[in-house]
Structure 1
Amino acid sequence: MELTESHTLPVPQQRAWEALNDTAILKACIPGCESIEADGENAYTVALTAAVGPVKARFKGRMQLADIDAPNSYTIVFEGQGGAAGFGKGDAHVKLEAAGDESTTLAYTANAQVGGKLAQIGSRLVDGAARKIAGEFFRRFGEQLGGDAQQNTDEAAQSAASDAEGEPQAEGAEETPKRKRSWTAWISKS
């Protein structure tokens, strides 16, 4: 699986770099994260609970920061075990670039492999879950950095539009969480 995205953060590049290296901020932003603890130089142990389709598990893993070019980029190498649910491992290259005095563009490319039950449920569900987790992370990260409501609303609208798979909605209609999950439930029953 490969995931490539970019996001505009409402802070200067140095502030974005500091936040990406602050374990308290990361713990608050990563969906299902229970702990992030230092485990050597530029290494961390992580525990989180995640659900991918019908598979929900508690994962324990390790991430290592490599190729550090502060405050511009680094590579995160990660691996985790979820017991009977399987495992995940891979890497993500993260790049920060100033987009003016008060904003920063964060771009990343993540490559991951999964095994066990996670691999059996299909790449479409795994990819969808990864995009959903990434979207939630950046929504929370923007809030932690003091992002304005408009930027967060724009990202939520883009996410909702992609989840609706192009189906038109009545103006002013709210999309319920049940609607967002319906395609996942349908696929997992197949």
Structure 2
Amino acid sequence: MQIDNEFTVGVPVERAWEVLTDLEGIAPCMPGAQLTGRDGDVYKGKVRVKVGPVVSEYAGTATFVEKDDAAHRAVISASGRDSRGAGNASAQIVAQLRPDGASTVVSVDTDLRISGKIAQLGRGMIKEVSTKLLGQFVECLEGKLGAAPEAPVETVAEPVAEAAAEPVAEPVAQPEPATPRPAAAEPEPLDIMGVAGGSIARRAVPLVLVLIVLVGLVLYLASR
């Protein structure tokens, strides 16, 4: 099943590139999703989902198989599995960033393969879910792109009084120790009822996992 999505962000490609390469910055834009690590060329992610009062967690992986830094193009192979055996989903994804005047166009073309109960959702339902999730991502991304980058902080040294007697050797500046980044906060679970709606929500969980984790990974990897 082929699913093609395209959206435009109203900033030059350089600014879009800066934001999209900030993995920790864009991760919160994917509802319920979190990148959990990397093993060689395999990127790992998880998503927390809520169906009614029940919160579950699912895992997915994406492998970077092709990259063209000059053309801002990436090809990703990704997969996700329902822990309850309801079915599997895999995808071959081509992501492309290209300048369009003062804006940037992002294209995500997905060849989705699903099996098991989730295959019963149908093409229309799958496209509806993917469109809603992508819309939420783009809205959040636009907010981050619209924020001005932080200005560098200029440090002014305090004047030092000259010694009255013998000259004093200038102290050697010591590099400040690197401050470790705080651990990423656990994401709020995605409300599947709000995305898929009604009785099909439970069957949509594995598909939503793939769409959330993979689209987030694709947009990140495509900007690498």
Q: TM-score, normalised by structure 2?
A: 0.57
Is 2:117 the counterpart of 1:83?
no
Q: Deviations over 1:42-95 (max 9, x none)?
A: x3101013579xxx8532111122321125211122111121243221022111
For the residues of structure 2 that align with 1:182 and 1:142, how far apart are their CA atoms?
20
Q: Please identify which structure carries the higher helix content.
A: 1
% identical equivalent positions: 25
For the residues of structure 1 that align with 2:3 and 2:50, how far apart are their CA atoms?
18
**Residues 1-190 of structure 1: matches in 2 within 5 Å?**
1-41=1-41, 43-50=42-49, 58-71=57-70, 72-84=72-84, 85-100=86-101, 102-146=102-146, 184-185=197-198
For the residues of structure 2 that align with 1:132 and 1:15, how far apart are their CA atoms?
25
One-letter amino acid matched to 1:118:
I
Shift of 1:184: 4.6
For the residues of structure 1 that align with 2:40 and 2:69, how far apart are their CA atoms?
18
Give the SS at the match of 1:83. coil
Aligned-residue CA RMSD (Å): 3.1
For the residues of structure 2 that align with 1:35 and 1:15, how far apart are their CA atoms?
23
For the residues of structure 1 that align with 2:94 and 2:109, how far apart are their CA atoms?
5
| Residues 4, 48 of structure 1: alpha-carbon distance in 2 compared, 3 angstrom cutoff | same
Q: Is the 8 A contact 2:13 2:104 kept in 1?
A: yes
For the residues of structure 1 that align with 2:75 and 2:50, how far apart are their CA atoms?
25
One-letter amino acid matched to 2:74:
Y
> Whose radius of gyration is greater, 1 or 2?
2
For the residues of structure 2 that align with 1:136 and 1:28, how far apart are their CA atoms?
11
How many equivalent pairs are there?
152
Give the corresponding residue for 2:161.
Answer: none
Shift of 1:40: 1.9
Q: Is the 8 A contact 1:125 1:184 kept in 2?
A: no
| Residues 182, 91 of structure 1: alpha-carbon distance in 2 compared, 3 angstrom cutoff | closer
Q: Is the 8 A contact 1:6 1:106 kept in 2?
A: yes
Q: Deviations over 1:84-107 (max 9, x none)?
A: 24322102211111112x321111
For the residues of structure 1 that align with 2:9 and 2:74, how far apart are their CA atoms?
17
Give the SS at the match of 2:74. strand
Unaligned runs of 5+ in 1: 148-180
Shift of 1:27: 1.6
Shift of 1:117: 2.8
Give the SS at the match of 1:7. strand
| Residues 87, 144 of structure 1: alpha-carbon distance in 2 compared, 3 angstrom cutoff | farther
Q: TM-score, normalised by structure 1?
A: 0.66
